[in-house]
Amino acid sequence: MNDTTADRVIVALDFDGRAGAEALVDRLGDACGFYKVGLELLTAAGPDLVRELVARGHEVFLDLKLFEIPHSVAGAVRAAGALGASMVTVHAMGGTGIMTAAVEAARDFPRLKVLALTVVTSMTGGDLADIGVAASTDEQVVRLARLAVDAGCDGVIAAPRETGPLRELLGPGRLIVTPGVRLADESSLDGEAGGQARAGTPGAAFAAGASYVVVGRSVNRAADPVAALRRVAAGG
Ligand code: C5P
């Protein structure tokens, strides 16, 4: 395994309770140092699980997807920082006010990075039109990414196909965290043969400029999660 790449893979603990999450963390052992805890697990298992992961030496991406009034966003970011989280997410669609509130609240927690979500990948151009946004999804992603860095966010969450364009737009200094990656034989996309990284794989995301990839079901539902994680770190 390429250690440098392995350090840049975040495994999503998408479970409905503590037991499943703990079983995966125990099984992965030293193979994984960075976990994403989302709203399902946080709500089901509570914040102690995050504290315990941090106490065991793991980094935690707390995927809160905040979209609230600035005062409440700041409070939630402070709570994430107090738990020892390394990353927290805020919706850029909520505007500059909440992103600035998140960034300012994170200042007390030097390890905590604030990442902005742009347009969630399940949204279509039609969905944007429904909420009064005339831009295409691609245009809106760029607009919101710019807004996020102007507000002081440390980086953005980007779908695999957005990662290259956003790396060009943002330059080398910002974090780009890419979920939605698939191992080559799981991908629905037909990529090139002959050793070229296929579109949507972890390797393609890293090549396009991802700082980290987030992987969920490819690892957390695998019969052999350690082997699956090794494949992710090797590019998928
Ligand atoms: O699809 P997978 O199980 O790998 O998803 C892992 C995590 O990545 C999920 O927790 C989800 O929040 C995130 N994700 C995302 N956008 C996608 C797919 C997954 O943000 N298109």
Domain boundaries, the chain: 6-233
Catalytic choice (18, 27, 51, 65): 65
If you average pLDDT over every residue of the chain, what do you get? 94
Q: Mean pLDDT across the stretch 132-138?
A: 96
Q: What is the pLDDT of residues 82-111, one digit of tens each?
A: 999 999 999 999 999 999 999 999 999 999
Rounded CA separation 74/208 (Å): 32
% residues pLDDT > 90 (the chain): 91
d(CA 41, CA 28): 18
Q: Mutation test of ligand 1: which of 214, 215, 232 has the most ligand atoms closer than 8 Å to its C-beta?
A: 214
Minimum-distance ligand 1 atom for the alpha carbon of 182: 4
How far apart CA 133 and CA 129 sit, in angstroms, is: 5
| Bridge partner residues of 175 (DSSP) | 155
Cα separation of 81 and 112, whole Å?
6
- Name the residue with tokens 């099984």: 27
Rounded Cα distance, 134 and 81, in Å: 36
Residue 222 confidence (pLDDT): 96
Q: From the CA of 62, how far away is ligand 1's center (Å)?
A: 13
- Tell me 146's DSSP state: H
The average pLDDT across 115-137 equals 96
CATH number assigned to the domain covering 6-233: 3.20.20.70
Q: Three-state DSSP class for 70?
A: helix
